[in-house]
Amino acid sequence: MSSLKNITILGSTGTIGVNTLDVIARHPQRYRAYALTAHTRIEPLLEQCRHFNPVYAVVGDEAAAETLVRQLKNENLETQVLCGAEALEKVVSLPEVDAVMAAIVGAAGLRPALAAARAGKRVLLANKETLVMSGKLFMDAVRQNGATLLPIDSEHNAIFQVMPHDIGRGLEQSGVSKILLTASGGPFRKCTTEELARVTPAQALNHPNWVMGPKITIDSATLMNKGLEVIEAHWLFDATPEQIEVVIHPQSVIHSMVEYIDGSVLAQLGNPDMRTPIAYALAWPERIPSGVESLDLFKVARLDFEVPDMHRFPCLRLAFEALRRGGTAPAILNAANEIAVQAFLGNRIGFTDIPRLIEETLSVMAIAEAANLEDLVAADQAARRKAESWVEAKAA
């Protein structure tokens, strides 16, 4: 039995964070929740502190911190409360921390994930925007600081599981010809363009297979989630856009596949439950029970596959285009998408306006090389301003 591992969970009150704590609770002799972070969700964070007694809890601002300190003191809990962006970077870099679950949604998760890589930690990456925005910068930090990077997205985790061990030599040298990223197709897979124009936020938040946060659920409905995963796969596995293919698979049983040059296709299958990739990454290269039910193939009965329609779902096309353009294009794509999703959830734009906003932002923004984090943040902020102005103009 290995010694107790201390885990920092960035975004502990979100879906990934809650599932990570579920896995940790099943293995109290192996893992300890050392630091938990949430932005403003104080009540669920307090409940987690009661149950897991972390050394640190981090919140977004001083007001939230004061509230949490008072509540912890009332219950005689000893967890130390920190706040702000610098505190996030502190709790991923502490020498006592063995692994970091990077699950803060959106661009806000970039800096602490990068800090974890620079601290040489085992980084369990659930924040796809980190690689979308800063792929080369982040991967360089992983390599230069001896960090271990393990993907948590079910698709990338599946690919990692069925990749050869010598992937560092490159895909072709390792005998891989193609990565096949599966996608459920979301709730509107069969909708016409006219029907998509009438989609409401409530409808878009009703994913057929997965229980996720609102942002990633909307991204799944537009297929932007898969587009971001294409960019992630490029960086994780050093794959060209031509070596990545998206396959619509409505059952979400095959989480992704790898095609080899000898004609073999290896797939990872399982019930759609994020505890499987979380447990795999926590214990890698070992395997531990995750609490996920065994896959009943007789109940599944059939597996369907379709070609994605990039006319009805242009977000996927836009992601491939941003990847090919390189530089700051993926960061601009991501920023515009975040603004578009927020605007859609706030009933400020329609569902089919999401790709229109993103395409317009990409068309008017200058694409530059990203030499450092500051360049990426500047491109991100400029794209957000441009996208927000588009939303305001449409509402006027």
* 234 and 208 within one domain: yes
Q: Is 24 within a domain?
A: yes
User: Given the structure tokens 């293995």, which residue do they identify?
Assistant: 27
- The one-letter amino acid at 179: I
* 32 and 169 within one domain: no
Q: Is 52 within a domain?
A: yes
Cβ neighbors of 371 (< 8 A, separation 6 or more) are none
Q: Is 319 within a domain?
A: no
* 162 and 305 within one domain: yes
- What is residue 3's predicted lDDT score, i.e. its pLDDT? 85
Give phi and psi for 349, each to the nearest 5. -135, 165
* 304 and 238 within one domain: yes
Parent domain of 203: 154-271+293-311
Q: Is 210 within a domain?
A: yes
User: Which of 262, 279, 311 is where one domain is finished?
Assistant: 311
Q: Is 278 within a domain?
A: no
* Residue 37 CB burial class (10 angstroms; 0-12, 13-18, ≥19): buried
* 134 and 166 within one domain: no
User: Which of 111, 134, 151 is where one domain is finished?
Assistant: 151
Q: Is 285 within a domain?
A: no
Rg (CA), the chain: 21
Number of domains observed in the structure of the chain: 3
* 248 and 123 within one domain: no
* 116 and 160 within one domain: no
* 348 and 216 within one domain: no
- What is residue 1's predicted lDDT score, i.e. its pLDDT? 43
* 131 and 252 within one domain: no
Q: Is 276 within a domain?
A: no
pTM of the complete model beyond 0.85: yes
Residues of the chain with pLDDT under 50: 1
Q: Is 102 within a domain?
A: yes
* 170 and 147 within one domain: no
- What is residue 371's predicted lDDT score, i.e. its pLDDT? 82
* 362 and 219 within one domain: no
User: Which of 105, 121, 151 is where one domain is finished?
Assistant: 151
Looking up residue 346, the CATH number of its domain turns out to be 1.10.1740.10
Strands 80-83 and 99-102: unpaired
Looking up residue 46, the CATH number of its domain turns out to be 3.40.50.720
Distance CA 37, CA 56 (A): 8
* 106 and 179 within one domain: no
